[in-house]
Amino acid sequence: MKPIILIVDDEADLISVLQDAIDVSLPGYRAVGSTSVDDAEDTLRELGGQAELSLVCTDHRLGGRTGLEFLEDLRRRYPDVPSVLFTGQASARDEARAREVGARVLWKPLRLSSWLQEIQALLASA
């Protein structure tokens, strides 16, 4: 089974574009999308020990729990999994918290080529 890149964003169209980019640019990985933190948690439970979680990319503003809260929780369970927080509305404090949990911060609107370079670099260094 291919290692997993989890993408969490409330915009299903963006998830689809990012999944397609991974399929084309990183064929050794499988992109799994979730539209909320709860959905992402369900996905992680379903995957269980079946697949290796290699990277998590999440939007900050998701409704309910934020992407940053999700990354903070995730860091306790998967301390070595690299992560990316993308946002168009985070405060300087949120950005600092993201960096404290080891997440790279990318600002929306995302440039697909820059995003792919970031995740490739994170995967190579993991």
Query: What 3 state SS string does the chain have?
Result: CCCEEEEECCCHHHHHHHHHHHHHHCCCCEEEEECCHHHHHHHHHHHCCCCCEEEEEEECCCCCCCHHHHHHHHHHHCCCCCEEEEECCCCHHHHHHHHHCCEEEEECCCCHHHHHHHHHHHHHHC
Q: For position 40, what pLDDT does the model report?
A: 94
pTM for the predicted model, two decimal places: 0.93
Q: For position 87, what pLDDT does the model report?
A: 85
Average pLDDT, rounded, for the chain: 91
Q: How confident is the model over 72-85, as a mean pLDDT?
A: 93
Q: For position 2, what pLDDT does the model report?
A: 92
Q: For position 10, what pLDDT does the model report?
A: 93
State in words which class domain 4-125 has. alpha beta
pLDDT higher than 90, residue 26? yes
Query: What do you get for the CA distance between the two ends of the chain, in Å?
Result: 19
pLDDT higher than 70, residue 49? no
> Under a CB-based contact definition with an 8 Å cutoff, are residues 32 and 7 in contact?
yes
Domain ranges in the chain? Answer: 4-125
**How far is the C-alpha of 104 from the C-alpha of 31, rounded, in Å?**
18
Question: Which pLDDT band, with edges at 50, 70 and 90, does 50 fall under?
Answer: low
Choose among 38, 32, 26: nearest CA to 7.
32
**How far is the C-alpha of 83 from the C-alpha of 79, rounded, in Å?**
10
Q: What is the pLDDT of residues 100-121, one digit of tens each?
A: 999 999 988 889 999 999 999 9
